[in-house]
């Protein structure tokens, strides 16, 4: 039998909301929740739609956060079914966004509906923060809503982000933090010349290599109980004119830090600069900070969510901070407790993305029970 959450997930998947297009998904949420007393506003900026929809004015404020945008489909001929025609096959729901993260949004909405109908006079407040700019540059999305909420004093007390965090089974993993991301583009200058006359040139590849080795060997920190040690990785190296007899004039190195709370962006920048200067390089270095690390230690939200997961799935979740960045990094700047939880992530961003249909009802129950645990304390 098709459940309410399954039908809503299919309705959302059928909307081709490739980032930054919302394709009407947020209007569907408004139409579901407005009759239950939710007040809403859509903040549109830079081609992005952001929905803030809230019921109640009292504390605590519990927020469910997510995104309606999805990544591009990739080659359509590699899909077994139309990515925007949700299809049930052998117990799985196929379609772009099935795991990341339209099923979570459907579970948010239906779980909230069930909670409010059962407890119409509940204490506290419930809200959703939904953007269409999570899979893109993320400059007109959740970060803008957070700035607005901070200015109006509507900052959340608790936030559950519906990212697909489960690994092997629904409920085995929740994310109570994420590493920060700091990227650098290093250009080491040399002097172009004929390869047969190296004394008349300065080879930047040779000059940069000892510094690269030191950067790779550097222990940036030891991590902590929640995070692994900060990681330095080179992603691209570009040098040369394409000719085999020319020493290039410069080398460009792209690198990234995924850093934990034991390091700061400034400390990493300073240490990189010190290594480069120790090797007496002539260089230019451009930095891009795309996200700070955040951490929610064990506490009220993790307990409420973990107990809900145990009740709905029988699983005891593991706390994890692995993976890439998420919009949790923005919400954590205005909310003291932010945790991510959602379905299994084995097929996210892939061709033939899918979710096991059997996960949908317990996922909805987890979100509903989390509300119950936070707002109906005995």
Q: Which residues are catalytic?
A: 69, 134
The reply to whether 34 sits in an annotated binding site is: no
Contact 149, 312 (CB under 8 A): no
Strand partners, 18: 70
The reply to whether 349 sits in an annotated binding site is: yes
Q: Distance (Å, rounded) from C-alpha 142 to C-alpha 147?
A: 9
Residues 6+ apart with CB under 8 A from 142: 50, 65, 67, 129, 131, 133, 134, 327, 330, 331
Q: Spell out a b/e string for 116-135, using b for 16 or more CB atoms within 10 Å of the CB, else e.
A: beeeeebebbbbbbbbbbbb
Q: Distance (Å, rounded) from C-alpha 238 to C-alpha 187?
A: 9
The reply to whether 67 sits in an annotated binding site is: yes
Termini Cα distance of the chain: 35
Tokens of 288: 């891009």
Q: Give the residue from 71, 81, 130, 75 showing the smallest Cα distance to 104.
A: 130
The reply to whether 22 sits in an annotated binding site is: no
The reply to whether 11 sits in an annotated binding site is: no
Q: Distance (Å, rounded) from C-alpha 98 to C-alpha 14?
A: 10
Tokens of 30: 């408004």
Strand partners, 291: 181
Q: Distances from the Cα of 351 to the Cαs of 36, 321, 346, in angstroms?
A: 37, 26, 11
Q: Give the residue from 71, 66, 51, 62 showing the smallest Cα distance to 104.
A: 66
Strands (E), the chain: 39-45, 48-55, 61-67, 87-89, 92-94, 125-131, 158-161, 173-175, 177-178, 180-189, 193-194, 231-239, 246-247, 250-259, 283-291, 294-295, 318-320, 338-340, 354-356
Q: Distance (Å, rounded) from C-alpha 41 to C-alpha 92?
A: 34
Binding residues: 67, 100, 135, 163, 349
Binding residue numbers for Zn(2+): 67, 100, 135, 163, 349
């Amino acid at each position: 039998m098709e459940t309410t959450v399954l039908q809503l997930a299919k309705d959302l998947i059928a909307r081709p909301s490739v980032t930054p297009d919302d394709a009407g998904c947020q209007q569907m949420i408004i139409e579901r929740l407005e009759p239950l007393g939710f007040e809403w506003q859509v903040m549109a900026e830079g081609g992005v739609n952001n929905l803030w929809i809230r019921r109640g004015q009292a504390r605590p404020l519990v927020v469910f956060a997510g995104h309606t945008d999805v990544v591009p489909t990739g080659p359509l001929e590699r899909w077994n079914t139309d990515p925007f025609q949700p299809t049930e096959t052998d117990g799985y729901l196929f379609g772009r966004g099935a795991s990341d993260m339209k099923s979570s949004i459907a579970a948010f909405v239906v779980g909230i509906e069930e909670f409010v109908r059962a407890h119409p006079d509940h204490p506290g407040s419930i809200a959703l923060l939904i953007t269409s700019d999570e899979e893109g540059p993320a400059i007109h999305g959740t970060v803008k809503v957070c700035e607005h909420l901070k200015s109006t004093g509507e900052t959340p007390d608790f936030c559950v982000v519906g990212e697909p965090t489960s690994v092997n089974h629904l409920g085995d993993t929740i994310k109570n933090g994420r590493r920060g991301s700091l990227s650098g583009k290093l250009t080491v200058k040399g002097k172009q010349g004929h390869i047969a006359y190296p004394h008349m040139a300065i080879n930047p590849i040779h000059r940069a290599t000892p510094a690269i080795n030191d950067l790779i060997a550097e222990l940036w920190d030891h991590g902590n109980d929640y995070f692994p040690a900060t990681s330095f990785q080179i992603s691209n190296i570009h040098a040369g004119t394409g000719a085999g007899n020319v020493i290039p004039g410069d080398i460009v190195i792209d690198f990234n830090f995924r850093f934990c709370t034991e390091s700061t962006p400034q400390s990493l920048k300073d240490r990189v600069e010190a290594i480069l200067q120790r090797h007496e390089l002539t260089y230019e270095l451009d930095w891009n900070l795309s996200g700070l690390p955040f951490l929610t230690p064990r506490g009220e939200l993790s307990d409420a969510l973990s107990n809900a997961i145990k009740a709905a799935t029988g699983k005891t979740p593991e706390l994890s901070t692995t993976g890439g960045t998420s919009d949790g990094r923005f919400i954590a700047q205005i909310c003291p407790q932010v945790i991510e939880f959602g379905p299994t992530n084995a097929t996210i961003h892939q061709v033939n993305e899918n979710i096991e249909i059997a996960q949908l009802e317990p996922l909805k129950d987890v979100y509903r029970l989390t509300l119950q645990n936070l707002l109906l304390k005995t």
